[in-house]
Structure 1
């Protein structure tokens, strides 16, 4: 009788005669036969990693196609229907050892791939297939997405985007990125730019929408087709995400319309038709995301003669173009509706309810706006002009869509980062029935060409995401399973750098990576360029405190007068006022001085571990250690600047000259810390574009165009003068 499900078996068979069976299964010369369904691309990916791990453990490997159900091997992998395995969810798996056989069970090929990767990982950690503990693992979140901007038709402009153009047209880059996504259990690749469609198709009824030749169009088609196929083969769903209302410059010129916010009939028809055409021409494209963009807000775009758009107008336009285009396609795709300033939860619900789409709609919300690497407390979102939380998106609980938190990183692009407990706390505090995942990524940074590092022998990586490998491993693995122990990440360090133990590196990375989290939690910020933590910069005001209009560098005065993001943190100004008025400090509040002590403790941990690890380290490990050391001195800089701010503000109120001198002394120490930061980073980094090409002519902070730590030493020294010249409060 024909079965209703497909079973894939991976069987480890001993190919030695019976009299050498015991020796062969335990010895380095043992041959392992891996039998599986070779038509399953995700399973093939997992088996490749398992094969490599076995070979590195000293075993020869033989692979063979197998589709039968006979349980003749030592290791079997089954893909069974969900109804037959009620304890295993989609992309989950079970490992069980019984009667001398290791059995891996999943309900889909991606879960089977993760099971094979798990076994491979444990073998690389020194275990054998006979010593693996039984367990069932299910994904904590069903959406584990990377946000990657595209350098063409990019939302942010300038050299920091343009430098990636060639790399992002190279399929080798995308293959490497997708490989690490699968290894780290990310399952959505979201690709973002303003208007992607003319780079993907020649619109049937609007061929003037792009000026590409047939050859150029074929090259674009080959890029997207191969990229989407590679993603699918690794269990990753590709999405394209755009800002609207937008058309290409060629379209605007030919049809006499505006590039932005043009709601004319021809733009509406074009948008609807091109969405349908893209879906039909790219069968492996999994989803389309849409943003109610800045220029759809209730203010007129510069030079526009079109009327303002209300929340209903925006959602009506989306319904009549994007949603209609999706529904007219010859197959379904998933829909991502972003939540931003110009959105309204009631209007959004109306459109999603009327769409009756077969899959659960995704609704992405920026967690703490553009600075998700701050506090795990949801202090503000990007979906209201007040910046406060708008719970209308999840209250009442939606039935046909789920929320994904967007963890934007606009805070560190150069230094390596990895803080596993922050991610675990974030997941624990922000898991809810209406949440099914996270997006992780940047707006002002593309993890493609590593343009910050000097060319030298210790640069063993080709792409920026490879240098930041720990960042992606932590986010991906912990979104899949927050209980993943640090031992996994310690083993990654140990295997990568041939260390006896990777524990000191994980401890050092965790302590070092607190600095940007603590700064972003203390220095309340909103959109992208209101904070750049690794540079101690605030290029644009965030409406949360005083700006001195002198430099993008955060001065001592700006630090004193700025509000905090995390409600548990006390600002310098509020803390000093409470002390002067002899008000008790609540035990659930973190004062600036307590925060400084935490930063000092972090720095001490990092520098101790670096000192232990540096002797005999490889050049590339030495590069990682230099990043950690940089964070340590940035922590010391921030700590002493907080103390200086408290002393200086105390002097301004109390007229105590000793407090002024203490501030001067502390800021002098800050100069020493910044000089150390500059010395370390200059050894392997160089000046890079930051907001070059984006800064308006009227913007005062020209020193943020390009970034390099030594460039800001004059501003560090200026703080000392500000303390020396400080006036008393009320006499400035």
Structure 2
């Protein structure tokens, strides 16, 4: 395989050289977004051996970057080739950037300028955001998050991360931490709240100003989001207030004293006035508000956060998190008092904020990568108060949280397309966030090999995840060929089947998260087969798998399946019973392994990781298939008493262990023992003994075999 690959590379190089052109990029250099678009097009042209010239005279090709809002809508773009001119037209500056990047992508994939095709696209989802938890005063105290602080203070990191967002057509980044204000301002009337020396504060200010400037240049909206009633420790100590309302405490009662209200209200205003490139702010009716009713929480938000934002002398955008008490009341109503109060409060604001208010809701709590059907939000079932009648000044934005895979690459394009089709097309829908609470995509703390790889930071390892979510939110009709072309550009013909293999294998994670019900952040960690059980995060043993209900309503748990079938009952064809799930897991994961078995990764450590992650997901899927067989047989033995079922259970669980050993064999040379927030639980102590690797929990996996051997009939 090496010789053909080298040969094709040489041919491609010669073809690119022979087709090289002198190109002039016409743009308005005084507009930061146009200058950015021109830089990106220019870099792609140079990489393809074209010459980018500084003067318009004697060009072979002219690329015209311009904006025409009369022709195109917001964020839309068109590429129009006409003779020697390729016009990249945007409905606004953001659309122009997307068009320029689409042209750059075509050039990078080897398309000659003479063959650039006409194309026109417009955004499907209006809000396409990333939730980014900053590692300072972050929500989950953990050394797994603290370790990212130096990386997240590096502007080179932010330049690369924001480049990635724009290339994938995300349009908003929200920065979350418990109390952002003293990192950004010295409160004018409360200087005692600031813990920094002048030099330290200048560094923080520079960091935030540059993040917002880089984002604005790339056409990204920026938000800061914090949690409720939190102050700095220095402020609390100086005034003897809010003693449970500073980091890292977040479960305490809400301190609503007037000095706290004034401090936070003025801080909101001052931040918005001192950071003109910051687009908006987010609020949450959650932690730090213990003992307050839904009405009291909303009134506090209106009087403090909303009032502070509206006092700023400029337009402001707003993210309004839905209260976490969204569930059916005891009378079976389709609304709760919190929903009614929140909707009324937002409607009273009218058009006070710029654009629609983005109402954020967690899709399937913290585990959106499960079923594309909405089963629950944070707190339980969701009523229809926010949707009926259709709102006029706000839009629902789904939070597609990922607390399930941090190390392994993931990518299932059809899952995201289904998600958007089922949940993103309503007249009340505004878009999506994606992001994590327990993970920050900054420091690469995973990679064990010393061989050179093509990434520096963690998010670059997960390039497919971001490319799928961003591009499909912009245009769900984007074909798989676009994503496969990126594999081919990176790795050549050896990667021709990697997208399909990754989609098949990483569906294992979706199926486990659909089968095993979960709620908040670390009640499930799918790539590790870990779940919170009682007060302990540990491997999902065979008994837990039998007893746990399902996330997806179409799935059938092991316990329910065995009880029903022993009673002579059956399930409708559309239900996913354990035997059906076993069949899907074995079919898809064996095919994934077949697709990558001949890929030669010799001398290419980056490609080795791509293939290894597919193989790891596949063996995790085969592990789950055998574990399900063992769980069904074990439960049948316990209920019906046939010794043959016990022997079958032992055999299947032994084979499940063998599949786990394959996972260890693949990952041990490639992955370090990795810090994991899920192991910290809700402790405020920094626990460094929180390392995860599949090898470290082998004894928990092996314990399933012992459970089956020691089982007795008649003990459900």
Identify the residue that residue 43 of structure 1 maps to in structure 2. 34
Instruction: Note if 1:310 corresponds to 2:293.
Output: yes
Contact 1:458 1:623 in 2 (8 A): no
1:441-520 aligned within 5 A: 441-454=435-448, 456-497=450-491, 499-500=492-493, 502-520=495-513
Give the C-alpha shift of residue 557 in structure 1: 0.5
1:565-714 aligned within 5 A: 565-614=551-600, 616=602, 618-691=604-677, 694-695=680-681, 705-714=690-699
Counterpart secondary structure, 1:678: helix
Contact 1:168 1:174 in 2 (8 A): yes
Instruction: Note if 1:96 corresponds to 2:92.
Output: no
Q: Which moved more, 1:690-699 or 1:278-287?
A: 690-699
Give the C-alpha shift of residue 507 in structure 1: 0.9
Instruction: Note if 1:409 corresponds to 2:402.
Output: yes
Give the C-alpha shift of residue 351 in structure 1: 2.0
Give the gaps of 5 or more residues in structure 2. 1-14, 246-253, 327-337
Contact 1:487 1:503 in 2 (8 A): no
CA distance in 2, matches of 1:136, 1:459: 35
Q: Which of 276, 289, 311 is the matching residue for 1:328?
A: 311
Deviations along 1:238-259, whole A, 9 cap, x unmatched? 1101001111111111111124
Instruction: Note if 1:54 corresponds to 2:50.
Output: no
Counterpart secondary structure, 2:277: coil
CA distance in 2, matches of 1:336, 1:217: 27
CA distance in 2, matches of 1:64, 1:641: 67
Q: Which of 376, 380, 383 is the matching residue for 1:380?
A: 376
1:195-234 aligned within 5 A: 195-234=179-218
CA distance in 2, matches of 1:101, 1:55: 18
Give the C-alpha shift of residue 628 in structure 1: 1.3
Deviations along 1:52-75, whole A, 9 cap, x unmatched? 332333321114599xxxx99654
Contact 1:37 1:65 in 2 (8 A): no
Q: Which of 532, 536, 540 is the matching residue for 1:554?
A: 540
Counterpart secondary structure, 2:636: helix
Give the C-alpha shift of residue 643 in structure 1: 1.1
In the superposition, relative to structure 1, how do residues 193 and 550 fare at CA in structure 2: closer, same or farther (>3 Å)?
Answer: closer
CA distance in 1, matches of 2:678, 2:116: 52
Q: CA RMSD in A?
A: 2.4
1:182-261 aligned within 5 A: 182-258=166-242, 259-260=244-245, 261=254
Q: Which of 362, 368, 376 is the matching residue for 2:364?
A: 368
Deviations along 1:184-204, whole A, 9 cap, x unmatched? 111111111111001110000
Identify the residue that residue 116 of structure 1 maps to in structure 2. 100
- Normalised TM-score (structure 2): 0.91
Counterpart secondary structure, 2:288: helix
Counterpart secondary structure, 2:162: helix
Give the C-alpha shift of residue 337 in structure 1: 0.6
In the superposition, relative to structure 1, how do residues 692 and 512 fare at CA in structure 2: closer, same or farther (>3 Å)?
Answer: closer
Q: Which moved more, 1:199-208 or 1:25-34?
A: 25-34
In the superposition, relative to structure 1, how do residues 230 and 329 fare at CA in structure 2: closer, same or farther (>3 Å)?
Answer: same
Counterpart secondary structure, 2:598: helix
Contact 1:119 1:129 in 2 (8 A): no
Identify the residue that residue 354 of structure 1 maps to in structure 2. 348
In the superposition, relative to structure 1, how do residues 105 and 26 fare at CA in structure 2: closer, same or farther (>3 Å)?
Answer: farther
Identify the residue that residue 80 of structure 1 maps to in structure 2. 68
Give the C-alpha shift of residue 110 in structure 1: 1.1
In the superposition, relative to structure 1, how do residues 698 and 489 fare at CA in structure 2: closer, same or farther (>3 Å)?
Answer: closer
Contact 1:691 1:704 in 2 (8 A): no
Identify the residue that residue 137 of structure 1 maps to in structure 2. 121
Contact 2:673 2:691 in 1 (8 A): yes
Identify the residue that residue 722 of structure 1 maps to in structure 2. 707
- Normalised TM-score (structure 1): 0.89
Deviations along 1:66-87, whole A, 9 cap, x unmatched? 9xxxx99654333113xx22xx
Counterpart secondary structure, 1:294: coil
Give the C-alpha shift of residue 703 in structure 1: 12
In the superposition, relative to structure 1, how do residues 656 and 693 fare at CA in structure 2: closer, same or farther (>3 Å)?
Answer: closer
Give the C-alpha shift of residue 593 in structure 1: 1.2
Q: Which moved more, 1:336-345 or 1:713-722?
A: 336-345
Give the C-alpha shift of residue 505 in structure 1: 0.9
Give the C-alpha shift of residue 666 in structure 1: 0.3
In the superposition, relative to structure 1, how do residues 550 and 77 fare at CA in structure 2: closer, same or farther (>3 Å)?
Answer: closer
Contact 1:376 1:429 in 2 (8 A): yes
In the superposition, relative to structure 1, how do residues 586 and 90 fare at CA in structure 2: closer, same or farther (>3 Å)?
Answer: same
Q: Which moved more, 1:237-246 or 1:651-660?
A: 651-660
Give the C-alpha shift of residue 115 in structure 1: 0.7
CA distance in 2, matches of 1:502, 1:49: 26
1:248-327 aligned within 5 A: 248-258=232-242, 259-260=244-245, 261-296=254-289, 300=290, 308-327=291-310
In the superposition, relative to structure 1, how do residues 92 and 550 fare at CA in structure 2: closer, same or farther (>3 Å)?
Answer: closer
Give the C-alpha shift of residue 443 in structure 1: 0.1
CA distance in 1, matches of 2:451, 2:270: 47
CA distance in 2, matches of 1:571, 1:102: 57
Give the C-alpha shift of residue 26 in structure 1: 11
CA distance in 2, matches of 1:323, 1:277: 13
Counterpart secondary structure, 1:436: strand
